[in-house]
Structure 1
Amino acid sequence: MITILCSGSRGDIQPYIALAIELKKQGEYVRIAAGKSFGDFITSYGIKHFPLAADYKSVDIDPKLLEAAQSSTNPLKMLFTFNKMKKYSKMMVDEMYEACIGSDVVVYHTGCTIGYFAAEQMGIPSVMASPFPMLKTSKVPSIIAYGKTKMPISLSYKMLQGMLWMASKTGVILYWKEKFGKLPENFNCPFELVDENHPSIVSCSNYVFPRPGDWNKNVYQFGYWFTQENDEYTPPKELVEFLSEGEKPIYFGFGSVFNEKNKDKFISYVKESLSKTDNRGIICGMGNVKNLPENIFAIDRIPHTWLFPKCLAVCHHGGAGTTAAGFAAGVPSIIIPFSNDQFAWAHRSYDIGVGTKPIYKK
């Protein structure tokens, strides 16, 4: 049995569903340990779900802290916010360790390092599955520095790995001392501990960020992990009619980082831009939107893999998964980065010639 540990929002979990689907196709018994609020989402793809009682929706995170985490515009702000959020990791570690029991292999998100230590304790292999390139290289800055912040390349990786480890290790320390009375042997950040029994896989295209030649040979990067919508997916009739009634629309959606208080402002920007360019548009994920002109359609949620190829261009926040879906659709990207790694994807999109120059939210 292969157990995949992951955490975060819907967009964070989706690549691991794609990973699980591929493993299942190869005849493996696989399950995903993730927050209980994602149960229906995971099982809708035919993947087993190990529910964690604690997830970002149920641990009562201070809304202001969550907003700060989603709006960090430079590495120092990110470091400060990650330090504040580390106390919440203990709530998930207990159940993640239990999820690993009985597994033959543990695959873990970089924010779930309990997977590495649990696998070591149980004498089984572990695989670090990263949703973006994060292992050290001398070839290109890390995703918290690329395109936006000038700092030594080595420092950019030290900061990136340090933030992820800081947010994760507190829970591991508290849990391990409580369960075993002491820390694991040679306790340290596991991110660079890559070998045959601890390989690493990365969700990224070599056409976007080529695999660096100075990575460990046991690090594998073969492309993005995409979920393919099953044949049972049926889009809303109204959306199908809208798409058939005119030119291809421009997509506007800003994922989980979108704050309701900015709704009216953003919608006014969308209306104005489409009016000036005489284009049609689709607004996604901004809740109930009233009094829209005929050239704009609003929807709460739609699979990017289904919709993006039907669009003229995609305007979004630059989340890793949304950016990848835009690349795969073969349409231009207009990226408005809000925080964290989104600046890197916005700049990279521009640098490789498939998107506009980044438009910072501020």
Structure 2
Amino acid sequence: MRILFSSLGSHGHTYPLLPLAIAAREQGHDVTFATSADFAATIERLGLRHFAAGLDMRSAFTEAHGSHDPDVPEDELPGLIAKTFGSVMPRRNHADLTPFLAEWRPDLVVHEVGNPGAGLAARVAGVPGLCHGFGRMWDTDDMPPIGPHVLEFAGELGVEVPEEDPMLLGNRYLDVCPPSVQDKRFLAANDTIPLRPVPFAEPGGLPAWVAEHEQPLVYLTLGTAFGDPGVLRAAIDGLATLEGTRLLVAAGPTVELDALGEVPEHVVALPWVPQADLLPHTDLVVHHGGSGTTLGTFGAGVPQLVLPQGADQFSNADAVVAHGLGDRLLGDQVTAEAVADRARHLLADTVVRDAAKAIAAEVAAMPSPAEVAARLPEYAR
């Protein structure tokens, strides 16, 4: 069977689909993965065919803004985000994928929830589609109005899309969020297929001491898109005061290590770490609340302290707190003292640790990518 996977060109949108795409290839399906050109090397290294489609995030925002000026007035930002994700990127993905679908003629298209353009191209071409999630669904009232743009574009194409959750396009939804944490309204309103969230990371080595560390290991990251040297520095200053712990910091691609300054001897700061390999060794994860890190920490079964910076991160932080899986600090609350205090409490709190182990057990019980890949032919009918 021919299967096209398609995502927006960012780590947080592409990586969650890779475990299922790999599983589908391993089961003998002919798999192509369509995303922006800067992910070609990663896709092809996994033995998957890459097709360049869509724009990278920076180019998409520039097109939506009509300017290379990075400074956008705060009151205009929600509208710009809505136009970027609801119009610019869907239209570009639809345009890029339409001729490819006509030529390659896949049996199934798996599009991630942030990429309705691929799903719309499939619908117009008469190809069955599945929508693949990348995390917990969030309250649309707290997000920029992306849906109306998607509905407008779908109308232009003559495609009927439900006004409730339009990003799904009415397709069945591969849900990588544990049901106990998922938004209950969303679960009630949509046809979901549970899929275990399996962290993916580029191959790479960890510091030798990580696997056999005797002291509690705290991991700090703000992810690949929302790095802030000021927030990282405050968190490092606080976490470095925790006696008897080791701290591993991943600065990410948006923060230079030099911007963090000197760090104590028991703190290791790196540009990047293979997070999927690291998480099972951690005792506490302090992070931005990105969906990949949040779900990965669920699977690792350890407490988390969330320092949300944007997008769905605030909703993820709310869910972590609401389900007793950790704590959060918002905005000006992120001081060295506050980070140290919350982290110290989470490292000692057996109730939170037990809750984290329970969510890890729930994740482990969800159907694996291999199990879901075995059912893909029935979804193509």
Q: Secondary structure at the match of 1:32?
A: strand
Give yes or no for the alignment of 1:88 onto 2:88. yes
Structure 1 distance, partners of 2:223, 2:71, is 13
Structure 2 distance, partners of 1:242, 1:125, is 45
Residue 42 of structure 1: aligned partner: 43
Q: Where does the alignment leave 5 or more consecutive residues of structure 1 unmatched? A: 135-142, 146-155, 174-181
Pairing of 1:175-190 with structure 2 (within 5 A)? 183-184=157-158, 186=160, 190=166
Q: CA deviation at 1:287?
A: 2.9
8 Å CA contact 1:109, 1:129 repeated in 2 = yes
More helix by share: 2
Residue 206 of structure 1: aligned partner: 179
Cα offsets for 1:175-197 (capped at 9, x unmatched) = xxxxxxx6325477555663xxx
TM-score by length of 2: 0.71
Q: Secondary structure at the match of 1:95?
A: helix
Q: Secondary structure at the match of 1:293?
A: coil
Residue 235 of structure 2: aligned partner: 269
Q: CA deviation at 1:253?
A: 0.3
Structure 2 distance, partners of 1:200, 1:228, is 20
Count how many residue pairs are aligned between Structure 1 and Structure 2.
Answer: 316
Q: CA deviation at 1:323?
A: 0.2
TM-score by length of 1: 0.74
Structure 2 distance, partners of 1:172, 1:112, is 13
Cα offsets for 1:65-105 (capped at 9, x unmatched) = 87879xx9xxx987434234356324443113234332111
Q: Secondary structure at the match of 1:82?
A: helix
Q: Secondary structure at the match of 2:249?
A: strand
RMSD, aligned CA: 3.4
Pairing of 1:262-341 with structure 2 (within 5 A)? 262-264=228-230, 266-284=232-250, 285=252, 286-289=255-258, 290-341=261-312
Quick one: structure 1 residues 45 and 67, their matched pair in 2 at CA, closer, same or farther if it must change by over 3 Å? farther
Q: CA deviation at 1:283?
A: 0.9
Quick one: structure 1 residues 21 and 264, their matched pair in 2 at CA, closer, same or farther if it must change by over 3 Å? same
Structure 2 distance, partners of 1:82, 1:287, is 26
Q: Secondary structure at the match of 1:114?
A: helix
8 Å CA contact 1:112, 1:168 repeated in 2 = no
Q: Where does the alignment leave 5 or more consecutive residues of structure 2 unmatched? A: 333-381
Q: CA deviation at 1:242?
A: 6.0
Give yes or no for the alignment of 1:110 onto 2:82. no
Q: CA deviation at 1:302?
A: 1.8
Give yes or no for the alignment of 1:215 onto 2:189. yes
Seq. identity, %: 21
8 Å CA contact 1:113, 1:169 repeated in 2 = no
Structure 1 distance, partners of 2:54, 2:249, is 32
Q: CA deviation at 1:54?
A: 2.7
Residue 379 of structure 2: aligned partner: none
Whichever residue aligns with residue 122 of structure 2, its letter is: A
